[in-house]
């Protein structure tokens, strides 16, 4: 079975990371334990992650809430029944309308089975999901982190995490991907929880909001 973390193990893992890294210890001591970001393993949750691509979390939340008002349940069948115009009225861009339709069709056809993912290895899931239009490594990373609670995911495409690492480790703003990978390696096998601590640090700064990169 793939290794996951739970509500019961979350704070102990935070404590373990604090012992391993004084910068993470400082974040927890200053701002408290990070929230355990969690969503159910549903089509709706994956749609929500797609909506978060390249926009603020608030903008994505507005879109998913508008869709919740439009249909009784955010299911593949209900989304496919909506016209492109109706989806755009829910603040879906033209691109994201295409991406969400592709996902809905893949689930309806049985090509993608979200329940099956719970027992699959991370890279198998990544391979299956990135075959779909509009789903790249960042989307898969967030799915593995927030929905499946896999323990050792570090989203190198996440701007908030990268900026937090640069800040807490006093790196140059032009720090390379290789430098970030080297630093994150010390947090194995708990890089997912380290990521949540870094998000917590980033969001605790005045005026900060998360705007996510590409797919």
CA–CA gap between residue 103 and residue 87 (Å, rounded): 14
CB 99 within 8 A of CB 130: no
Count of domains for the chain: 2
pLDDT values of the chain reduced to their tens digit, one per residue, 215 residues: 899 999 999 999 999 999 999 999 999 999 999 999 999 999 999 999 999 998 888 999 999 999 999 999 999 999 999 999 999 999 999 999 999 999 999 999 999 999 999 999 999 999 999 999 999 999 999 999 999 999 999 999 999 999 999 999 999 999 998 999 999 999 999 999 999 999 999 999 765 555 444 45
Model's pTM, two decimal places?
A: 0.93
Decide if 164 is inside a domain. Answer: yes
Instruction: Quote the domain boundaries for residue 61.
Output: 43-147
Residues 143 and 173 in one domain: no
Decide if 212 is inside a domain. Answer: no
β-strand partners of 4: 150
Backbone angles phi, psi at 23, to 5 degrees: -70, -40
Residues 57 and 130 in one domain: yes
Residue 189: cis peptide before it, omega within 30 degrees of 0? yes
Residues 81 and 101 in one domain: yes
Last residue of a domain, one of 123, 147, 171: 147
Decide if 198 is inside a domain. Answer: yes
Residues 50 and 139 in one domain: yes
Residues 137 and 174 in one domain: no
**Long-range contact set of residues 137-142: C-beta below 8 Å, sequence gap at least 24:** 138/53, 138/212, 138/213, 138/214, 138/215, 139/46, 139/49, 139/50, 139/53, 139/215, 142/49, 142/52
Decide if 11 is inside a domain. Answer: yes
CB 186 within 8 A of CB 143: no
Q: Give the CATH number, domain containing residue 172.
A: 1.10.1670.40
Decide if 2 is inside a domain. Answer: no
Residues 11 and 57 in one domain: no
């Amino acid at each position: 079975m793939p290794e996951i973390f739970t509500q019961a193990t979350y704070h102990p893992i935070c404590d373990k990371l604090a012992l391993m890294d004084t910068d993470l210890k400082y974040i927890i001591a200053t701002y408290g334990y990070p929230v355990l970001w969690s969503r159910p393993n549903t089509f709706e949750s994956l749609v929500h992650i797609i909506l978060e691509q390249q926009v603020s979390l608030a903008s994505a939340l507005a879109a998913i809430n508008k869709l919740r008002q439009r249909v009784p349940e955010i299911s593949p069948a209900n989304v496919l029944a909506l016209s492109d115009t109706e989806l755009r009225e829910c603040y879906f861009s033209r691109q994201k309308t295409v991406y969400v339709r592709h996902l809905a069709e893949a689930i309806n056809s049985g090509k993608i089975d979200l329940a099956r993912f719970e027992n699959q290895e991370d890279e198998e899931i990544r391979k299956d999901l990135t075959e779909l239009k509009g789903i790249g490594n960042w989307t898969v990373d967030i799915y593995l982190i927030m929905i499946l609670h896999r323990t050792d995911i570090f989203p190198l495409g996440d701007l908030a995490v990268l900026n937090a690492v640069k800040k807490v480790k006093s790196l140059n703003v032009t720090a390379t991907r290789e430098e970030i990978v080297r630093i994150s390696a010390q947090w194995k096998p708990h890089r997912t929880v380290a990521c949540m601590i870094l998000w917590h640090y980033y969001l605790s700064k005045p005026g900060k909001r998360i705007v996510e990169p590409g797919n």
